[in-house]
Amino acid sequence: MSAVAEQTMDNVSDQIREMGKRAKAAYQDLGQAETAAKNKALLTAAARLRDGRDVIKAANEKDMAFGRDKGLSEAMLDRLLLDDARIDAMAAGLEAIAELKDPIGDVMAEWERPNGLKIARVRVPLGVIGIIYESRPNVTADAGALCLKSGNAAILRGGSESIHSSGAIVDCLRAGLKEAGINEDAIQMIPTRDRAAVGALLSLSNYVDVVVPRGGRGLIERVQREARMPVFSHLDGICHVYLDKAADAQKALDIAVNAKMRRTGICGAMETLLVDQAVAADLLPPVMDALIEQGCEIRGDEVVQGLDGRVIPAVEDDWGTEYLEPILSIKTVGGVDDAIDHINRYGSHHTDSIVTEDDPTAEIFLARVDSAIVIRNASTQFADGGEFGMGAEIGISTGRMHARGPVGTEQLTSFKYVVRGTGQTRP
Amino acid sequence: MSAVAEQTMDNVSDQIREMGKRAKAAYQDLGQAETAAKNKALLTAAARLRDGRDVIKAANEKDMAFGRDKGLSEAMLDRLLLDDARIDAMAAGLEAIAELKDPIGDVMAEWERPNGLKIARVRVPLGVIGIIYESRPNVTADAGALCLKSGNAAILRGGSESIHSSGAIVDCLRAGLKEAGINEDAIQMIPTRDRAAVGALLSLSNYVDVVVPRGGRGLIERVQREARMPVFSHLDGICHVYLDKAADAQKALDIAVNAKMRRTGICGAMETLLVDQAVAADLLPPVMDALIEQGCEIRGDEVVQGLDGRVIPAVEDDWGTEYLEPILSIKTVGGVDDAIDHINRYGSHHTDSIVTEDDPTAEIFLARVDSAIVIRNASTQFADGGEFGMGAEIGISTGRMHARGPVGTEQLTSFKYVVRGTGQTRP
């Protein structure tokens, strides 16, 4: 694949269109493939990853050299690196996806009409999925495998820094498809660093049914702006925890600290803590002590500032900011209605949690907060397909259409109505 | 409303944006409304339609006068006309929608994780729905009521010829909302004939979550091209019936004639008949006799022409044409694989039917024809939300995303994940 990876494209948009056509044709094959064939492809690909680790590491070394020349930060270089442990993890990921239930062919609902027509709603693949992502090469394996399992052809566009690594991984996936007798073009990688390829892919609405961008805000915004097909994405994860006046103090402490500090850089990390003003003086001091001790900066409103001299005044912009860092804004509110209004106004419809022992208050919050995931008495960091038991996810969507929340194999499907009759005509 | 209907808009796009804002605010109210309140609104609106029939007929007379001045055809004028029977039918439609199950709050799936988290996927409304339609004023009642029942705010844009009639109907719907204590702005009508209003609505992606166009090809194409939000639509209904070599001759005759001639102008009408060449000489003559006797023109390939001197030669364009008239193209094919290839290439992914007594052949066809509705041994004219038992439909979608096939109240919903914990934090 590295030969392909270094090729230049004379006419990028023509070549991307050709990839689209081949993907659509391959989908006709993969979309009809038996579960056993798809699993064989996945397991073969996993074996190829393990057996071909030297090839993959050599390809990765080219990317690392390119990254060092380009002056990537140590953190970025670490994201790019593939070592034995990470190759094994990718292979294990493919094996786990082989274990998942095949969603295709599932009868979602079934009923009979008075005239004897039997109607079934049956899951089918979406078609062709474009995935555009940044540096981590393991996304190549995860995304390709999720599409394969759900019967969708994939066109992958990884970060330009990881082009050789991704190419070597795609070779393994395609070898698996071939071994299973499935059209290899069901997984294709765009073999150029040319940025025009992204624009060409996003305009390919005849061949690409949905695009999933994974990466920073710049990438997501570009995709949302330019795509001529539906997009599964989330721009921000401005997640809230609301400490109600009926909150249990220990749960409030545990959940607030975990939601912020377990990992600060993920989309499910809490960015704003809301607290009922009636209990702020009781609940907040231990929470703030623990957070500050762990290196978190606190920005608060006047009430919060009054509780702790280390609190920095929050400004309006803080309520709409996704820090992705050990920084937290804290606001006191008049109660659950206020909290809901704040979340629906400033949040990003991703994941929001209430800590309360009061059932009616919890139900109001769960019903009226307009987010993909609403939680009672647990950390926002559970916002993850794996934690939801979906096996794996290709991303999280904050859109309301089709897929909402973690996007796993089921969310990568559509359906059709299958009607079985005995000669019925419509009167 | 007629005063409003005649107002001119100084700045259309500002005013449409204001309507969008009001719709979004009203959705917060309607989306949380109890089933009983929504049904009260619908039943009150039905009563207002019946009791206010004189007002409605007077408004309709203004539209009819406008239509006659504009030189509308008799058929168009008939579509526009509201008489007592049609007003009663609209009211009965609202009452039927009140009877439907409320989809909102439905628990679609529910499971518990090993850590004790209880996860439920719960139906919620989509948000704000824009509906753009042509002359028939009864769409105002149907579309408004379906949105209301499914908790979605609606912005209606009817045909310019029906603006007074639609305004009078919207008055009844809003009176119902008011009586039920729900924010009236949950149903709004664009009160101008200015065509710029459509463009303004289609650009309002911050406030309008989905657009449903209903009308001719010109309207659908414009909406698909300009909309900055998802669209539920079908451009064409190029529906096929395939007569397999194992078809029952009587079923073949009944289904082919019904699929073409019951109503030729609907999207579920058959436009192309495919037949296995091995049985063409047996099956086609009675089918063609019956069709020609009912006034249908037949365009066929050479084999078909050889069977009947009245057959006109079909050209390539015929295979991709939605006639919506008593015209049928007929093609002989080499078997079910050929038929599937033809349908996936020339069809519009709407509704396609196979007539066969052979189970394996039927299953191949049902699995591999890539259409929203695939049928065995029944007429394509069953492609309808009412016939599917969905109560009512706002349209039929040939898109693969979110809603596919008939779009009823369930298809006008999204979902959220509701997670109930007992203090869980993520390790």
Residue-wise pLDDT for B68-100, tens only, equals 999 999 988 999 999 999 999 999 999 999 999
B402 touches chain A (CB under 8 A): yes
**Tens digits of per-residue pLDDT, A110-135?**
999 999 999 999 999 999 999 999 87
**Smallest Cα distance from B57 to chain A, Å:** 31
Q: Of the candidates A255, A344, A425, which has its C-beta nearest B379's C-beta?
A: A425
CATH number of the structural domain A2-232+407-418: 3.40.605.10
A282 touches chain B (CB under 8 A): no
- Rounded average pLDDT over B398-417: 94
B8 band by pLDDT with thresholds 50, 70 and 90: low
Q: Where are the domains of chain B?
A: 2-232+407-418, 239-382
Question: What is the model's pLDDT at position A208?
Answer: 96
**Tens digits of per-residue pLDDT, B399-408?**
899 999 999 9
- Rounded average pLDDT over A273-290: 98
Question: What is the model's pLDDT at position B4?
Answer: 45
**Tens digits of per-residue pLDDT, B291-318?**
999 999 999 999 999 999 999 999 999 9
In this prediction, what percent of chain B has a pLDDT beyond 70? 98
Question: What is the model's pLDDT at position A1?
Answer: 39
- Rounded average pLDDT over B353-381: 97
**Tens digits of per-residue pLDDT, A142-196?**
999 999 999 999 999 999 899 999 999 999 999 999 999 999 999 999 998 888 9
Taking CA–CA distances from B422, the nearest residue in chain A reads: A377
**Smallest Cα distance from A388 to chain B, Å:** 7
Topology given in CATH for the domain delimited by B239-382 = Aldehyde Dehydrogenase; Chain A, domain 2 (3.40.309)
Question: What is the model's pLDDT at position A134?
Answer: 87
Q: Of the candidates B374, B389, B418, which has its C-beta nearest A416's C-beta?
A: B374
**Smallest Cα distance from A238 to chain B, Å:** 17
Taking CA–CA distances from B257, the nearest residue in chain A reads: A425
Find chain A residues with C-beta within 8 A of B210's C-beta: 401
> Given a cut of 60, is residue A2 above it in pLDDT?
no
**Smallest Cα distance from B228 to chain A, Å:** 10
B134 band by pLDDT with thresholds 50, 70 and 90: confident
Quote the CA–CA distance of A416 and B247 in Å, as a whole number.
23
Question: What is the model's pLDDT at position B319?
Answer: 98
- Rounded average pLDDT over A307-333: 97
B203 touches chain A (CB under 8 A): no
- Rounded average pLDDT over B182-187: 98
CB contact under 8 A, A371 and B416: yes
From A139, A158, A150, select the one nearest A41 (Cα to Cα): A150
B246 touches chain A (CB under 8 A): no
> Given a cut of 50, is residue A383 above it in pLDDT?
yes
Taking CA–CA distances from A121, the nearest residue in chain B reads: B373
CB contact under 8 A, A381 and B426: yes
B373 touches chain A (CB under 8 A): yes
> Given a cut of 90, is residue B166 above it in pLDDT?
yes
**Smallest Cα distance from B177 to chain A, Å:** 20
In this prediction, what percent of chain B has a pLDDT beyond 90? 89
Inter-CA distances, A202 with A162, A403, B415, Å: 21, 19, 27
Classify residue A386 by its DSSP letter. Answer: T
**Tens digits of per-residue pLDDT, B215-239?**
888 999 999 999 989 999 988 899 9
Question: What is the model's pLDDT at position A8?
Answer: 52
> Given a cut of 80, is residue B214 above it in pLDDT?
yes
> Given a cut of 50, is residue A83 above it in pLDDT?
yes
> Given a cut of 90, is residue B336 above it in pLDDT?
yes
A32 touches chain B (CB under 8 A): yes
